[in-house]
């Protein structure tokens, strides 16, 4: 199955994810099974997290017959590879496991379906662009810096799903591609996470596990933020320049007609709604379920202000949901990878091998190895806090033995986790961004891979500085 993008045929993102799922299933036959011991530890904030016990890895005997390859069932007594039937079951299991996230994405799509039908977004963009005269060299850096601040200081990510359709509408109006609009939001959010100046989801888990105060060592992360945001902004502007290689104007004339009262109230409601959502997420720790209910509430508010008939509002909501329906399949497939690795009991083996890969080759090589280790692990464990909980108890002691400071160990984790999430197809966070923007993973990967290479080299340089200065 292929999709057509701007006259070119590219592989469907669903097929890409299916291939990754099949590779994960095959690895359960090729990679030895094993596991670490785990224990629950209470953190400084009183929360209990399950951590891996260092040096506790043990291999387990794997037994299976021909029938197990086709129909095998999980067993606590006997370790088996994942069968064909289990591989198929992993997909609906993944969808069920991420049901709250999937519905949140679909409700966002529905909410914007209602808002789009009202015409407020188009009118608001036209007015905003008329003020700046559509100058992308002013708009793009300003928007990217604003978006990155929320993620690097507060760990905001899924909250930006609200703004992706609006930014893409803006780039459409400027004659630019959807992938450019997606990049303005996604790269800013991902680099914000990569630097994590005070991101609690990354630092509140990772730093205490290696024995350093939460949010300490900000100097190196600030350098990282400035360097990598500068690179990303330059990259997006360079791509915009390439899109306009034919001499098309990068600033345009727009209608400066004042907004109607209805459109103005709709945009005010949207602004207040976004602000309250950020407040609720940070104050009451709203998760996907609460956010889904909130987006449904906003849909009703928008429909009422726009004076839509109930049937028209419902049709617009469903039409908006249909646009992001593929997110359910993609998120289910991405989660299926982790389920397969756990059921085949090879997740811990992969972690054990990667720790062995770090070795004792001196502080510099070990720091680079930690970075690469985190890059690879992020494919299987795309959760930032989850990856920190698994790797920090292991890599912290390893770092001390080979001369890598605890802060640099955390820094290598941030670099690896943040960079892989820019492109990895198993990241549900990236997949819902892609689904909301209606951009395929293959198209996004083609756009972003040169930047990933540049950021990879930059990360190695920054790690070198961190080791050299004893950060």
pLDDT of residue 317: 93
Residue 8 above 60 pLDDT?
A: no
How far apart (Å, rounded) are the C-alpha atoms in residues 20 and 441?
A: 13
How far apart (Å, rounded) are the C-alpha atoms in residues 375 and 459?
A: 12
| Mean predicted confidence (pLDDT) in 434-460 | 91
How far apart (Å, rounded) are the C-alpha atoms in residues 413 and 201?
A: 13
pLDDT of residue 181: 92
pLDDT of residue 247: 47
pLDDT of residue 399: 78
How far apart (Å, rounded) are the C-alpha atoms in residues 189 and 104?
A: 19
Angle between helices 363-380 and 441-468 (to 10 degrees): 150
pLDDT of residue 349: 84
Residue 303 above 70 pLDDT?
A: yes
| Mean predicted confidence (pLDDT) in 14-20 | 81
**Among 75-79, 193-197, 227-231, 250-254, the least confident range:** 250-254
The more confident residue out of 42 and 290 is 290
With a pLDDT cut of 90, the percent of the chain lying above it is 19
Q: 393-417 burial by CB neighbour count: b if 16+ within 10 A, else e?
A: bbbbebbeebebbbbbbbbbbbbbb
The more confident residue out of 390 and 308 is 308
Q: What is the dihedral of CA 299, 301, 304, 308, to 10 degrees?
A: -10
pTM, full prediction: 0.75
For residue 429, give both structure tokens: 């966070």
pLDDT of residue 37: 81
pLDDT of residue 131: 67
What DSSP letter does each residue of 412-459 carry, written as one string? Answer: HHHHHHHHHTTT-TT-HHHHHHHHHHT--HHHHHHHHHHHHHHHHHHH
pLDDT tens for 63-115 read 777 777 787 666 666 778 888 888 999 989 988 988 887 888 788 888 888 98
How far apart (Å, rounded) are the C-alpha atoms in residues 78 and 293?
A: 43
| Mean predicted confidence (pLDDT) in 319-344 | 82
pLDDT tens for 366-409 read 888 889 888 887 777 777 777 777 778 777 777 776 788 889 98
Residue 61 — pLDDT band, cuts 50, 70, 90? confident
The more confident residue out of 12 and 145 is 145
| Mean predicted confidence (pLDDT) in 197-202 | 80
Residue 125 above 80 pLDDT?
A: no
Residue 1 above 50 pLDDT?
A: no
For residue 194, give both structure tokens: 């990569």
Residue 234 — pLDDT band, cuts 50, 70, 90? very high
Residue 5 — pLDDT band, cuts 50, 70, 90? very low
| Mean predicted confidence (pLDDT) in 148-166 | 81
Residue 302 — pLDDT band, cuts 50, 70, 90? very high
397 within 8 A of 54, measured Cβ to Cβ: yes
Residue 225 above 60 pLDDT?
A: yes
| Mean predicted confidence (pLDDT) in 355-370 | 78
How far apart (Å, rounded) are the C-alpha atoms in residues 164 and 170?
A: 10
Residue 449 — pLDDT band, cuts 50, 70, 90? very high
How far apart (Å, rounded) are the C-alpha atoms in residues 414 and 411?
A: 5
394 within 8 A of 407, measured Cβ to Cβ: no
Where along the chain do its domains lie? 99-190+233-325
What value does the mean pLDDT of the chain take? Answer: 81
pLDDT of residue 218: 86
- Hey, what long-range contacts does 35-43 have (CB within 8 A, 24 or more apart)? 35/60, 35/345, 35/348, 36/348, 36/351, 36/352, 43/204, 43/205, 43/208
pLDDT of residue 464: 93
In sequence order, the β-bridge partners of residue 5 are 8
pLDDT of residue 43: 61
How far apart (Å, rounded) are the C-alpha atoms in residues 199 and 218?
A: 11
Residue 161 DSSP class: G
Q: 424-445 burial by CB neighbour count: b if 16+ within 10 A, else e?
A: bbbbbbbbbbbbbbebbbbbbb
How far apart (Å, rounded) are the C-alpha atoms in residues 388 and 269?
A: 38
For residue 201, give both structure tokens: 């989801």
Task: Using DSSP, state whether 242 is helix, strand or coil.
Answer: helix
pLDDT tens for 244-269 read 755 455 545 555 567 788 888 988 88
With a pLDDT cut of 70, the percent of the chain lying above it is 88
pLDDT of residue 338: 82
pLDDT of residue 360: 60
Residue 190 above 70 pLDDT?
A: yes
How far apart (Å, rounded) are the C-alpha atoms in residues 312 and 319?
A: 10
| Mean predicted confidence (pLDDT) in 458-468 | 93
Residue 287 above 70 pLDDT?
A: yes
């Amino acid at each position: 199955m292929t999709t057509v993008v701007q006259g070119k045929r590219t592989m469907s993102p669903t097929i890409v994810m299916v291939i990754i799922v099949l590779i994960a299933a095959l690895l359960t036959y090729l990679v030895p099974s094993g596991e670490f011991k785990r224990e629950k530890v209470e953190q400084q904030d009183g929360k209990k997290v399950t951590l891996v016990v260092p040096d506790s890895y043990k291999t387990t005997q794997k037994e299976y017959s021909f029938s197990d390859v086709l129909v095998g069932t999980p067993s606590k007594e006997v370790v088996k590879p994942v069968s064909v039937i289990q591989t198929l079951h992993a997909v609906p299991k993944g969808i069920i496991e991420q049901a709250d996230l999937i519905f949140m994405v679909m409700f966002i799509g529905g909410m914007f379906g209602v808002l789009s039908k009202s015409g407020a977004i188009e009118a608001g963009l036209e007015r905003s662009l008329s003020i700046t005269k559509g100058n992308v060299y002013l708009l793009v850096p300003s928007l990217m810096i604003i978006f990155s601040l929320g993620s690097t200081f507060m760990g905001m990510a899924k909250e930006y799903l609200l703004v992706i359709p609006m930014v893409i509408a803006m780039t459409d109006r400027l004659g630019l591609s959807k992938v450019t609009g997606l990049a303005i939001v996604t790269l800013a959010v991902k680099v914000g996470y990569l630097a994590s100046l005070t991101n609690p989801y990354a630092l509140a888990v990772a730093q205490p596990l290696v024995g350093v105060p939460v949010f300490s060592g900000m100097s190196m992360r600030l350098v990282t933020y400035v360097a990598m945001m500068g690179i990303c902004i330059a990259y997006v502007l360079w791509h915009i320049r390439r899109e306009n290689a034919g001499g098309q104007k990068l600033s345009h004339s727009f209608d400066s007609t004042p907004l109607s009262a209805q459109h103005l109230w709709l945009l005010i409601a949207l602004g207040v709604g976004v602000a309250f959502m950020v407040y609720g997420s940070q104050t009451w720790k709203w998760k996907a379920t609460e956010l889904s209910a909130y987006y449904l509430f906003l849909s009703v508010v928008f429909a009422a202000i726009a004076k839509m008939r109930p049937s028209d509002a419902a049709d617009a909501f469903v039409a908006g949901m249909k646009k992001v329906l593929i997110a359910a399949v993609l998120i289910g497939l991405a989660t299926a990878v982790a389920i397969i690795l756990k059921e085949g009991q090879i997740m811990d083996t992969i972690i054990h091998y990667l720790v062995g890969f770090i070795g004792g080759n001196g502080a510099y090589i070990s720091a680079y190895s930690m970075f690469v280790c985190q890059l690879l692990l992020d494919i299987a464990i795309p959760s930032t806090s989850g990856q920190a909980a698994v790797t920090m108890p292991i890599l912290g002691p390893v770092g001390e033995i080979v001369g890598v400071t605890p802060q640099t160990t955390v820094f290598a984790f941030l670099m690896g986790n943040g960079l892989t999430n820019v492109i990895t197809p198993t990241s549900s966070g990236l997949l819902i961004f892609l689904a909301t923007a209606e951009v395929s993973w293959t198209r996004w990967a083609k756009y972003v891979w040169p930047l990933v290479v540049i950021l990879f080299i930059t990360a190695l340089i920054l790690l070198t500085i961190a080791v050299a200065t004893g950060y």
